[in-house]
Structure 1
Amino acid sequence: MLAVLSGGGTAGHINPALALASELADRGWDVRFAGTPQGVEARLVPAAGVPFTAFEASGFNRKHPLSLVKGVGKIAASSRKAEQWFREIKPDVVVGFGGYVSIPVARAAEKMGIPVVLHEQNSVMGMANKYLAKKAACVCVTYEHSMACLPPDASARLTGNPVRRSVMEASREEGRALFGLSEDDTMLLVFGGSLGARHINEAVVALKDELLSRPQLHVVHITGPKELDAVTEALALTEEEAGRWTLLGYQDRMGETMAAADAIVSRAGATSLAEISARAIPALLVPYPHATEDHQTTNARAYVDAGCAFMVPDAELDTPAFSEAVFSLIDDEAVRAAQTAAARAQKTAEAATMLADVVTAAAEGRPSTVQ
C-alpha cells in the first residue's frame, strides 16, 4: 500500500504527519510526502527519511487581490503536477494535514478517485481542511467539539493528535541522565514553542528567587534562540544557581527533556499540547493570545476542563494567578498525580495508531467509524 501525506507551513502540520508515517511504515506501507519547497517540511521530512516531492502553493492577502490571483494560479499548476505524479506512483490514499499545499494534492486525488483523509490538529479548523472536508473520505480531529464545524454529511473520527516517536519512546532515565538529575529532584520545564515566548520568559525570571529557594527543584528553561542572551542577562545566575537552572536557546532532544520533567510551563500550540498529553505531564498552559482565532486558548480549554492542566491567560502572567499555579504544580504532588491520571485518560499516546486505522480503512474502501 502507498500513502501520500501532505502538509506545510509549520512544524505543527509536519510532526503528526511524520508520526503517522512511522506507524504506516511499521505496517508495511510505502509513504511519500508532498510539501512546499521553501517550508519547514522540506527540511524535516527528508531528515526523517521520508521521500519528499515539492509543490508550489501560497496563501493570499485579501487587501492585495493580485496575491489571490497568484495563489490560485499556483494551486492550479500544482494540481496538474500532482495528477501526473499520481499516475506514476499510484497511491492508495492521500492524507492532508493542513497548509495550502494540501489543497492541490487533495484536489488531484479527488479528481482521480483516490480517497482523501484529513487530519486537523487544532480546535479551530484551518482554511485548507475546511475547504477539503466536503469531499474527504474521513476527517480526523483532535478535539471532539471541532466536529461541529464540519459539513453535516461529513464522516468524522476523533483520533487525537499523533506524536513523534522520538518524544514517545524516550525514557525518564535517559532524560534524568541528560540533565544530571536524581529521582528525588523535581524538574520544571519551561518552553514557549520553537521560537520561545518572551512574556513567559519574563514571568519565570521574576520568580527566580522563590523557585531556587526549593533545594530539590531544577529548572530547565528553553528560552527560544532570540531570547537566550536577554534571559541569561536578566537571571544573572551565579555558578551555584546555574547548577540548578539550565538555560537553552533551543533543544533538539525534546523527547528526553520531556521524559525527565515533573511539570511544564508552556504555550498551547497543537504539537506542544499533544506531546504534553501523550507523556501525561502536569502542566500550566499559557496560550499565545495572538494565534489565529485565538485557537490556542480553545486548544487549552478542552484539556484544562478534563483536569489535565492549569491555564493562565498571557495577560495574567504578571499577577499572583501565575505564580500560584506554578508553585501549586511544584509543591503539591497530589495535584501533579491528578493531572497525570487525567492526561492518560485522553489516550493521546494512541493517536498515531487510531489515525493509521482510519487511513487503512479509507484505502481499502471501508467506512471509518463515526465518533
Structure 2
Amino acid sequence: MRVVLTGGGTGGHIYPALAIGREVEARQPGSSLLYIGTSRGLESRIVPEQGIAFEDVTITGFRRSLSWENVRTVMRFVQGVRRSKQLLRKFKPDVVVGTGGYVCGPVVYAASRLGIPTLIHEQNVIPGLTNKFLSRYVDGVAVSFSESVGLFEKCPDVEFAGNPCATRVLKADRNKGFSSLGLASGTPFVLVVGGSGGAKAINQAIEQTLPMLHKMTDTHFVFVTGERFFKETEAAIHRLNPEASKRVHVLPYIHNMPEVLAAATLFVGRAGASFLAEVTSLGLPSILIPSPNVTNNHQEANARSLADAGAAIMILERELTGELLFRHMSAIMGDAVRRDSMSRASRGMGMPKAAAAIYDQIVRIQRKR
C-alpha cells in the first residue's frame, strides 16, 4: 500500500500519523510511506529521524479575528493545494491520511479533488478547525473520543477508533524505562511532564512541592521540565536536603517516553490527546492540568472525560498550587486501593487496538471507492 501521511505543528498531530504509518507497514510489508508537512513544524525534524520520506508545503493558520493575514492564508492555501497535487501525482498514493494541524488542510483537500481515498483522524474531544473543514470532503473520519462522533455529521463513515498512539505504548519495555532513569525495576515513581516544551505553571507548582516531598518517603519523582526551564528547576532541586534530592530526578526531555510511561506509577501533566491515549492504554492513574492556551480549550474537555470516569483528578491551571498538587499526589500514592480503582477506570477507557481499527477503516474506504 502506498500511503501519504500529513499533519503537523505539534507532536499530538505527528505521532498519531506515524503510528498509523507503522501499522500499515506491519499489516502490509513492503508498503511505501510519504509524509507531507511544513518545513517549520516539528514534523520536519521528527519524520526524517524515523526514516520516512518527507516533503513540505507552505501554509499558515487562520486567525480568529478579522485580519489581512487571513487573506494571505487563503492565498497560501491555494498554493498549498497546487503543490500538494504535484506531490500526490508523483507519489501516486492509494490513500491519504490526515491527523490535523494546518498543513493537513491543503494536502487532504487536494487528494479529495484528485479522487484519492482520504481519511482524517481527530485526537481531541472537540474537533480542530482543519478537521471540521475537511470532514465534508473526506471518505472517513476516525475519532479518539466517543463524544466526537456526532460532531462529524457531514462524513458518511465516522468511527470511534481511539488514538493510535495507544497501540505504540503497549509495546514498550517498562524495564528499560526503569533502567534509563537509574531506578531498580518496580520502584514506585511519579512522572511529571509539562509537554514537549515544558509548562511554566506546572514547573512552578513542582518547585513549591519540593519542601514537602520528604513526607512521601517511598516515592521517587521524575520531573520533565522542557529544555527552556531545565536549569532553573534543577537549581531549585539542588537546594533540597540531600536525602530528599536522592529521590528526585530532573530531566529536560525524555526520548524514550513510552518506556518511561510504562514504568510510572502516577502521571501528572497536560491533557494532550496522545498522552491520554497512552495513559489509558497502560491503565495509569493521572492528575491532569489541562493547558488553557489551546484552541477551543480542548484539553479541559479531554481531561474532564477521564475525571468523570474516575481515572484522573483534574486541576485547572488557575487553581494550581504546589500545596494542592502535593495533596493529590500524596493521597493517590499513599492509597493502593484508590490507585487500583483509578487504574481500572483508566484501562477501561483505553483503546490499545486503535491503530488496527484505523487500518481496517482505511481498507474499508478504499474498497468503497
Which TM bucket (shorter chain)? over 0.9
Counterpart amino acid of 1:66?
A: W
Q: TM-score, normalised by structure 1?
A: 0.92
Q: 2:271 aligns with which of 244, 268, 271?
A: 268
* SS of match in other structure, 1:252: coil
Answer whether contact 1:309 1:339 (CA < 8 A) is retained.
yes
Of 99, 102, 126, the match for 1:100: 102
* 1:369 counterpart residue number: none
Q: Does structure 1 conserve the Cα–Cα contact (< 8 Å) formed by 2:166 and 2:277? A: no
Q: Does the CA contact (< 8 Å) of 1:134 and 1:154 recur in 2?
A: no
SS of equivalent to 1:196: coil
Query: Bigger shift: 9-18 or 335-344?
Result: 335-344
- Establish whether residue 88 from structure 1 lines up as the match of residue 90 from structure 2: yes
Q: Which amino acid aligns with 1:309?
A: A
Q: Describe how 1:255-294 pairs up with structure 2 within 5 A.
A: 255-294=258-297
* Post-superposition offset of 1:320: 5.5
Q: Within 5 Å, which residues of 2 pair with 1:1-371?
A: 1-28=1-28, 29-61=31-63, 63=65, 65-152=67-154, 154-163=156-165, 167-183=169-185, 185-235=187-237, 236-318=239-321, 321-365=324-368
SS at match of 1:210: helix
In the TM superposition, residue 239 of structure 1 has moved relative to its aligned partner by 4.2
Retained in 1: the 8 A contact 2:166–2:351?
Answer: no
Seq. identity, %: 36
Structure 1 residue identity aligned to 2:278: E
Matched residue type, 2:276: L
User: Take 1:185 and 1:34, find their aligned partners in 2: how far apart are those partners?
Assistant: 41
Which stretches of structure 1, 4 residues or more, deviate above 4 A after TM superposition? none
Structure 2 gaps, min length 5: none
The separation in 1 between residues aligned to 2:361 and 2:334, in whole angstroms, is 42
Contact 1:24–1:31 at 8 Å: present in 2 too? no
Residues 213-249 of structure 1: CA distance to partner in whole angstroms, max 9, x if unpaired? 3322111111111212222233313444332100111
Instruction: State whether residues 283 and 350 of structure 2, in contact with CA within 8 Å, keep that contact through their aligned partners in structure 1.
Output: no
Letter in 2 for 1:284: I
| Aligned partners of 2:95 and 2:117 also within 8 Å | yes
- How many residues are paired up? 366
Please provide the CA RMSD for this pair. Answer: 2.0
Task: Find the residue that maps to 2:162 and give its secondary structure.
Answer: coil
Helix, strand or coil for the counterpart of 1:53? Answer: strand
Point out the more displaced range, 270-279 or 328-337. 270-279
Deviation at 1:290, TM superposition (A): 2.5
The structural deviation recorded for 1:296 is: 0.7
The Cα shift of 1:154 comes to: 3.7
Inter-CA distance 174–319: structure 2 relative to 1 (3 Å threshold): closer
Which runs of no fewer than 5 residues in structure 1 stay unpaired?
367-371
